[in-house]
Amino acid sequence: MLERLWNGWRSSYISSLGSDADEPGQGSVFTRILESGLPDDQTNIVHRGRNCFAILNAYPYGTGHLLVLPYREVANLDDLDGAETAELWATVTDAVGAVTAAYSPDGVNVGLNLGRAAGGSVSEHLHVHVVPRWIGDGNFMTAIANTRTLPEPLDDTAAKLRVAWP
């Protein structure tokens, strides 16, 4: 029998974001971070390439949860040009290598949520999730206390991943 573990907090989070399209000229949260002029150690950007970059998820599913995305704000894979496509997947490969070297997880989830209906909370700016996973990492805290436990601050995670970046 299939059991379901509901993440009710997720719906509230997604609904609270609203659509960046409601704020003309503002751009996605990622575009706003890039245009902020803040240094990478304050924005938790782990890697910058020519067309793409990697940043820590501000609301991670677990320690080391990275997002890899193009600088250019596009919603769909077919909106990417050839250089962006090639670099996006090469950067995803490097991100998997970095989280593996830094955290020695039992596995890694890699995926995209294209469109709001698919769970894309920032659907106007395509991003690939790279999430290190450990056997037993889905623990009781999320289920009974509506809480995720993260053992280290994001800036410490970013520093470890920068050092481990291939």
- Residue located via tokens 């290598």: 97
46 dihedral zone (left: phi>0; alpha: psi -120 to 50; beta)? alpha
> Which one is catalytic: 47, 125, 127, 129?
127
Q: Where are the alpha helices (DSSP H) in the chain?
A: 8-17, 29-35, 40-43, 82-103, 140-145, 154-164
DSSP sequence for 46-94: EEE-SSEEEEE-SS-SSTT-EEEEESS--SSGGGS-HHHHHHHHHHHHH
Active site residue 127: yes
Which positions are catalytic? 127
